[in-house]
Amino acid sequence: MTELYVANTDCLKNKELFDACYAMLPSFRKEKVDRLQSIEKKVLSMGAFLLLVDALRKRGISPEEIEFSYNANGKPTLTHFPNVHFSVSHSGNTVFCAVSDAAVGCDVERIRRIDLNIISRFFSPREQAQIEAQPTQADKEKMFFRLWTLKESFIKMTGQTLSQLKDFSVIIQEDGTRLDPNKNFYLQEFSLGDNYCYACCSEVPDISPPVTINLEDIKRP
């Protein structure tokens, strides 16, 4: 089973709440937050970790037990819980998290104006055709980010790098989304009624809809 969680980070811009949550962070996460220059990036980094902590707590893993190991491409895993897989993403003021019994990747992107001339750098000819077939600039931009999140969720699940984005295609059809060449993985995208695209890729078919978490409610156990 793959469980998804999403949270808005705006509340963490409140200094009192930010300081309280910062005090809850383990030293390695404090160091990461401290290295970031802008308050927006600090808030996103903190929010992503708080959301992961809450998701793992639901799996019976306490914050004190969280320790990361990394593969050659930087993909993190839980050192002491190799059978629990996770992925975290953030964009704009939103953080997104997946926790699963099998390999998993997730991605969120805020839909925004982009220069569509860049699509050939990241997308296969078949994906470019899907984007160009959209009737308006706004529709093209939305399709860009739908494809991007789906592709990056696969990349994050497999632990590959962005340089491999053009090695495969994501085909969006009315009867479902699939990978070409065909791979035995499950892709799912979600629309939550906001200006974001959400996607998850997992080795297991049971992918739950995202549950919204209020970061103000996350307290030290």
The C-alpha atoms of residue 105 and residue 126 are separated, in whole angstroms, by 23
Model confidence, pTM? 0.93
Report pLDDT for 221.
44
Helix (H, G, I), strand (E, B) or coil at 95: strand
pLDDT < 70: residue spans in the chain: 219-221
Helix (H, G, I), strand (E, B) or coil at 162: helix
Which of 146, 39, 28, 147 is closest to 93 using CA atoms? 39
Report pLDDT for 220.
52
H-helix segments, the chain: 15-24, 27-35, 39-57, 119-122, 125-132, 137-158
CA 194 distance to own-chain centroid: 16
Which of 208, 168, 204, 174 is closest to 186 using CA atoms? 204
The per-residue pLDDT for range 144-172, each reduced to its tens digit, is: 999 999 999 999 998 888 778 888 889 88
The per-residue pLDDT for range 2-27, each reduced to its tens digit, is: 999 999 999 999 999 999 999 989 99
